[in-house]
Structure 1
Amino acid sequence: MLEGVVIAVVTPMSKNGGRVDFEAIPPYVDFLVEKGVNGLFVNGTTSEGLLLSIDERRRVLEAFLRAASGRVKVIAHCGATRLKEVLALVEHAQKSGADGVGIVTPFYYRIGEKEMENFYAKIGEKFHDIPIYLYNIPSLTNNWITPQIATNLHEKYSNIMGVKDSSGNFSHVLSLINDTPDDFSVLTGYDRAFASVLFAGGKGCVSGPATVFPEFFVKVWKSFKAGKYSQAKEYQRKLTKLSLALGDGASIPLLKAALEWRGVKVGGVRTPLLDLEEDEARIYKERISKVLKEVGLKWKI
């Protein structure tokens, strides 16, 4: 079962985002593994996964799996507009040795609970031997995974075993934890609630800002596991300051710029995204630098 600090990785690219920079993936993964993270979530939102071709997504997953080399778990995001592509990506992830897959809800079209369950059922019916994690991010999809949907799917397909919830709604996260079976895993994509979610029975986080500053995420997790709850709360306060300075991970160009400032080469972003302008980058770096002094971290790794 997936737990702890799972990094929503970015995809290293050329300066203009035109091609994936596969050579930059191993040192990037080494940086994260050496910081003590538990897993990598590849080809998701932060990875610009939906801006990559299906072939690029396959090759990116393979590159992260090689770089990780079994040191941490690797989860492949396999969400796509068409079910046929989802199934093809899950099949590839399974054959490639991924530790599990994450699948975002259908998006663009608003759908009901029956349609949502039918969508995931078609995946669960075909794949039985790989862990499947639902991915709830309604701010981008306009569709919600409710506790009832999660429960129904888990009871029918035991390998649909968890959810990554990026709703930013703490009440909804609590409902997913409290109103689903005990063996159903809930991970939050809401950084500010990481420690609170752990205290409530959640299993971990999947975070974009953690790709830049994994240190306090790891400290929160290790403190919680050791039963040092006051210490976990203190680390959470520092984590929250850093996440806020990074805009809660909403800007992929900012995440990539901040990684470059840490000395991790990840390049530019793909259209329609745009790299930060010079003045914008300067303001962000000054703001984050001030927070780093407050929490006792340095830019360089």
Structure 2
Amino acid sequence: MKERKLRGIVVAALTAFDSQEKFDPPAMEEYIDFLVEKGVDGLYICGSTGEGLIMNVEERKRVLETVLKRTQGKNVAVFAHCGSVRMEETVQLVEHAKEVKADGAGMVTPFYYKYSDEELFGYYDTIARKFSDFPIYLYNNPALAGNSISTALVNRLHHADPNIMGIKDSSGNFSMVLSFISETPSEFSVLAGYDRAFLSILLMGGDGCVTGPGAVFPELFVKVYELYKKSNVKLAKEYQEKLTKLSLALGDGANMPLLKVALKLRGIDLGPMRKPFKTFEEEGMKTLKEKLDVVLEEVGLKY
């Protein structure tokens, strides 16, 4: 099995669309170059931030292929989010991710309907067994998906399927993340999907983060992680405070249109959001820029 542990700064990449809301490969390539140049460790493609769940299967495949081609030979891992409300689609996406040699597949719980732990086990176990030689990562986002992954379920899955190698937790529940870290084997990756707790989770034994705001301003995230690896916790805390201010200004990553506008202010235009999302009007952009101008000056960053 191709093993590349999910760790460090993994950005939940946005997706480029043209004026007709069709995937825009040239704009995406420019954006991926920007992220790689900033020193991120990994790219998480077609997740929540990347609007993957409002794209069809073929579109998601094309986005992944574009990113993999652009990052060929670069020291960056590429993981495909393959979650869907339909297991059949998830299987198709994981199969494709494996074929095109992505570093692994992440998947949110099946959503809309409420599922028991036994049903969630069956979902992940079926997929993991089908692709037993390919790394699979769980994605816990109960606020959006309506289903939560418990520590007991994580341990059961990892024991049954060793290729289930980690979890991204976006619950915002600090005690849950701590239980994932303390009650799972050391080879199991635990990544924060909650930027304000990033350094704290690293200090507790976590492996990194999967971040939306970091897909716009990766510099602070990279800096915190570098300082942590050098055991310079005091300075890392100072940068975490800056990171927190910036993340709050960007809606903690929950406001995807805000992220695209902020990226446009940095000179990278990924086009509109897909409907029913609304794209910011001129006045909204002006308001955001005024707010970001203040925050960026406080944290020592430029557009």
Q: What's 1:186 paired with?
A: 190
Q: How many angstroms apart in 2 are the aligned matches of 1:107 and 1:145?
A: 12
Give the residue type in structure 1 aligned to 2:203.
F
- How does 1:120-131 map onto structure 2 within 5 Å? 120-131=124-135
Q: What's 1:36 paired with?
A: 39
Contact 1:4–1:205 (8 Å) recurs in 2: yes
Shift of 1:179: 1.6
Q: What's 1:49 paired with?
A: 52
Shift of 1:184: 1.2
Residue 274 of structure 2 is aligned with which of 247, 270, 273?
Answer: 270
Shift of 1:14: 1.1
- How does 1:87-126 map onto structure 2 within 5 Å? 87-126=91-130
Shift of 1:170: 1.1
> Gaps spanning 5+ residues in structure 2: where?
none
Q: How many angstroms apart in 1 are the aligned matches of 2:188 and 2:278?
A: 38
Tell me the secondary structure at the aligned position of residue 61 of structure 1: helix
Contact 1:132–1:161 (8 Å) recurs in 2: yes
Q: Does 1:258 align with 2:262?
A: yes
Q: What's 1:195 paired with?
A: 199
Tell me the secondary structure at the aligned position of residue 89 of structure 2: helix
1:105-154: CA deviation from partner (whole Å, max 9, x where unpaired):
01000111111101101001101111100000000011111111010000
Q: How many angstroms apart in 1 are the aligned matches of 2:256 and 2:264?
A: 12
Report the identity percentage.
53
Give the residue type in structure 1 aligned to 2:83.
G
Tell me the secondary structure at the aligned position of residue 135 of structure 1: strand
TM-score normalised to the size of structure 2?
Answer: 0.97
Contact 1:15–1:269 (8 Å) recurs in 2: no
Contact 1:148–1:180 (8 Å) recurs in 2: no
Residue 149 of structure 1 is aligned with which of 153, 171, 175?
Answer: 153
Q: What's 1:174 paired with?
A: 178
Q: How many angstroms apart in 2 are the aligned matches of 1:164 and 1:26?
A: 25
Q: How many angstroms apart in 1 are the aligned matches of 2:84 and 2:252?
A: 24
Shift of 1:15: 3.0
Shift of 1:283: 1.3
Contact 1:120–1:153 (8 Å) recurs in 2: yes
Across the aligned residues of Structure 1 and Structure 2, the Cα RMSD in angstroms comes to: 0.9
Question: How many residues align structurally?
Answer: 298
Contact 1:209–1:249 (8 Å) recurs in 2: yes
Q: What's 1:59 paired with?
A: 62
Shift of 1:251: 1.2
1:34-90: CA deviation from partner (whole Å, max 9, x where unpaired):
111000000100010011111000000000111111420000000011111111100
Q: How many angstroms apart in 2 are the aligned matches of 1:120 and 1:103?
A: 9
Tell me the secondary structure at the aligned position of residue 110 of structure 1: coil
Shift of 1:280: 2.0
Q: Does 1:247 align with 2:251?
A: yes
Q: How many angstroms apart in 1 are the aligned matches of 2:53 and 2:155?
A: 27
C-alpha change, 1:102 and 1:70, in structure 2 (3 Å) is farther
